[in-house]
Structure 1
Amino acid sequence: MRNLIADIRDAIPFDTPIEKLCNGPCTGCSKKLLDYLDMQLEEKEAEIGAGHIPSFGELNRLKKSALKIHATLVKKGLIEPE
């Protein structure tokens, strides 16, 4: 889980300025998506810190959310396609 969280934090530009996030059509609000994902990551980090061992399902759900948000950010031009 820690590796997954680190990979997500490396791949997603959480520090993108608001001016860049909120330009053009507002479909799939990038700011809200980044806030949501950051909140999820912080919750998972706190759970791990408290000794919780995540299940495969939890890992899969977090990965799936991150991939969907990544795809939206690529579509909006905030991340370069891989």
Structure 2
Amino acid sequence: MKPNTTTVMRGLISQVRKTMPFHLPASRLCAGPCRGCPKKLLEFLDQELEEWETRLDAGEKPTIGDVSRFGKTCRRIHAALAANKLV
């Protein structure tokens, strides 16, 4: 049986929170040449995570498209952070 979209979204949020370097200080995020602004990308992603957590807690059920778009955003931000050698 496939999990529902709420379970998938919660799993994705959990995985992103464990994987992304939210704990790094700004001095480390902004050290050296950057491709994209890691600090702003992480701030944006944190806002998105908090928004989805709030929406899920309120009982909203994400669509498959919501999960797909959010996953794509996370992958792109991860790629930008990897290019800056932060993950």
Do the structures match in fold with TM over 0.5?
A: yes
2:36 aligns with 28
Q: Distance in 2 between matches of 1:61 and 1:5?
A: 13
Equivalent position of 1:68 in the other structure: 76
Give the superposition deviation at 1:40.
0.2
Residue-by-residue CA offset, 1:3-62 (whole Å, 9 max, x unaligned): 010011111011111111001124300000000000000000000000000000100111
Rg larger in structure: 2
Question: TM-score normalised to the size of structure 1?
Answer: 0.92
Instruction: Give the gaps of 5 or more residues in structure 2.
Output: 1-8
The runs of at least 4 consecutive aligned structure 1 residues that moved more than 2 Å come to: none
* Number of equivalenced pairs: 79
TM-score (ref. length: structure 2): 0.87
**Which ranges in structure 1 are unaligned for 5 or more consecutive residues?**
none
- Relative contact order, CA 8 A, sep 6+: which one is greater? 2
Instruction: Give the alignment of 1:1-80 within 5 angstroms.
Output: 1-79=9-87
Identity of aligned residues (%): 46
* RMSD across aligned positions (CA): 0.8
